[in-house]
């Protein structure tokens, strides 16, 4: 069953440029990951430090495989340097 994941990031005010440089290649990897169907990077119009990833995955298993990869071989340790809060992750399944 397809799922949607929403990942919310809050970027440190003085690290927005550094974060943009990290997110570009990171999103290329995410979009190329098996099961990724749509990955959109959104920036809040009123708060340029509030970034959201909207992710559509073919299945919960594909999304979990991606999360597992990100915490192991695909980890981006530099990400912690640009955030001023822990990212939030919400997962959704179709209600119909």
- pLDDT tens across 6-48, in order? 999 999 999 999 999 999 999 999 999 999 999 999 999 999 9
Would you say how long the chain is, in residues? 96
For domain 3-93, give the fold.
Alpha-Beta Plaits (3.30.70)
CA distance 5 to 1: 13
pLDDT tens sequence across 44-79: 999 999 999 999 999 999 999 999 999 999 999 999
Q: Examine the pLDDT at 1 and tell me if it is beyond 90.
A: no
Summarize the chain as % helix, strand, coil (round to 5): 35, 35, 30
Neighbouring-strand partners of residue 56: 4, 38
- Give the model's confidence band at 89: pLDDT under 50 very low, under 70 low, under 90 confident, else very high: very high
């Amino acid at each position: 069953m397809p799922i949607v994941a929403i990942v919310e990031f809050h970027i440190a005010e003085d690290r927005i440029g550094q974060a943009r440089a990290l997110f570009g290649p990171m999103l290329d990897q995410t979009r190329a990951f098996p099961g990724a169907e749509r990955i959109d990077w959104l920036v809040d119009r009123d708060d340029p430090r509030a970034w959201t990833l909207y992710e559509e995955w073919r299945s919960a298993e594909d999304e979990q495989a991606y999360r597992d990869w990100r915490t192991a071989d695909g980890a981006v340790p530099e990400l912690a340097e640009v955030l001023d809060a822990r990212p939030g992750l919400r997962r959704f399944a179709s209600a119909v």
